[in-house]
Amino acid sequence: MHAVWHKPENIARTPLDWLFTTALTRIGNSTMHSVTLLTSPERPKLEAALVDSLRNAWGGGDAVWLAPDEAASFDMSRMPGNRWDVWAECQGMGVDLIIVPSEGRRKKMLLADMDSTMIQQECIDELADEAGVGARVKDITARAMNGELDFEGALRERVGLLEGLDEAVIGRVLAQRITFMPGGKALLATMKANGAYAALVSGGFTAFTTSVADALGFDENRANTLLAEGGKLTGHVTNPILGKQAKVDALEDITARLGLAEDDVIAVGDGANDLGMLHRAGMGVALHAKPAVAAECDVRINFGDLTALLFVQGYAKDEFVV
């Protein structure tokens, strides 16, 4: 069946519609999609005029405000051909634009990365600062997370630089340097209150994931284990290293165990080693992600916090569990 193209002259417009219309709009499969617009909860500035202009240009249904001045949603029957042009315009206004299938929008499982996703730091970088090799390790981390370096090799190199570090430093870093990403507790509490399962899967270390998982309410966590002898880090981790494939394996293992489909999962991450699970999950979210990672994901959150994952599932702010 051939795609049909038409000019949308008959769609009602407002002064802002020139931002959102192209000469041609592709009419493809009439699968219902949900459009969510959201902005920073710290500086909410989502304008009703913007929401209405986009809804009118794309022939969407009535707008539902999920949070005043912060998030709104509407449904439409077809995916617009100028989706990414409009996304770029919205980014310039400090607004995230997300389009997902309406069916199965609310997920039954959360699969989350930890570093720079559920927490605001990279744990290995914080340990490296304590060991006096912070700048060198941070450079390797940045390149690995952007996909420029092999994750396993980069991890071994960075852990090797921690050799001799007092094991007690881990507790100090947890207490003094690690902070949670805003919105994480509400995300976990709300999804779990609605029957979802939550798993934390990290290329970092169990010494951190255990603590973070307990604090935020994850049902389980998986990560690499730092080896120590005589109270000092040896510069090694246990094999096999948990990297990109291990996160996909976790998705497969946990969904099979729980009797869920992969479409039932919302996964969130920021680095290249997250791409496997982000591609496989029913909804893969690139959160404040490295450019090379965001480019491969349809759901990109650059301005919202972790509560954005609730908005894109259709939860209103008054449904959040805090």
Spatial distance between the Cα atoms of 161 and 140, rounded to a whole number of angstroms: 11
pLDDT of 6 reads 30
Please provide residue 29's backbone torsions phi and psi, each rounded to the nearest 5 degrees. -65, 140
Dist. CA 137–CA 156, nearest whole Å:
11
From the candidates 17, 62, 69, 113, which is the catalytic residue?
Answer: 113
Give the Cα separation of 290 and 59 in Å (integer).
33
Cα–Cα distance between 125 and 13 in angstroms, integer?
50
Series of mean pLDDT values for 10-residue runs along the chain (322 residues)? 32 47 44 97 96 97 98 96 97 98 97 98 95 94 88 93 96 97 98 98 97 98 97 96 94 98 98 96 97 95 98 98 93
Q: Give the residue carrying structure tokens 């090694």.
A: 236
User: Distances in Å between the alpha carbon of 314 and those of 43, 216, 268, 309?
Assistant: 21, 22, 17, 9
Q: Exactly one of 69, 75, 96, 115 is catalytic; which is it?
A: 115
Distances (CA, A) of 52 to 55, 57, 64, 186, 244: 5, 8, 11, 28, 40
Domains of the chain: 4-101 (no CATH), 109-319 (3.40.50.1000)
Instruction: Determine the Cα–Cα distance for residues 233 and 167; give it in Å rounded to an integer.
Output: 6
Strands 4-6, 64-67: pairing is unpaired
- How far is 185 from 183, CA to CA, in rounded Å? 6
Q: Is-catalytic flag, 214? A: no
Please count the other Cβ atoms lying within 10 Å of the Cβ belonging to residue 142.
Answer: 15
Q: Which residues contact 211 (CB under 8 A, 6 or more apart)?
A: 174
Q: What is the pLDDT of residue 1?
A: 34
Q: Which residues contact 274 (CB under 8 A, 6 or more apart)?
A: 113, 117, 244, 247, 267, 293
- Is 150 among the residues known to form the active site? no
User: In 3D, which of 256, 239, 170 has the Cα closest to residue 209?
Assistant: 170
